[in-house]
Amino acid sequence: MILLVLLHKGKGGGLSDMFGGGFSSNFGGSSVVERNLDRLTVITGTVWFVCIIALGLLLKQ
């Protein structure tokens, strides 16, 4: 999850430029890659959130 967030193209300076800037600058012109990365990040975050809630409910019993 952290890697996916760091791969996003940065709006300015910061961690995305420091760590993921070299990789994302190669694909910066391609909006298809950026759109797919957005989708993959949202899907991964949603699955992660659902897993955390499910594990919390299972361990509560």
Domain contains 47: yes
If 0-12 CB within 10 Å is exposed, 13-18 middle and 19+ buried, where does residue 34 land?
A: middle
- How many domains does one find in the chain? 1
Does residue 26 register a pLDDT over 70? no
Could you give the CA distance from residue 6 to residue 46 in angstroms, rounded to a whole number? 17
Structural domain span for residue 51: 32-60
Domain contains 55: yes
- Structure tokens given for 8: 């996003």
Domain contains 53: yes
Q: Could you tell me which residue, 8 or 25, shows the higher pLDDT? A: 8
pLDDT in tens, 30-53: 688 888 889 999 999 999 999 999
Domain contains 9: no
The DSSP secondary structure of 22-61, one letter per residue, reads: HHHHHSTT-HHHHHHHHHHHHHHHHHHHHHHHHHHHHHH-
Domain contains 26: no
**Taking the model in full, what pTM does it have?**
0.63
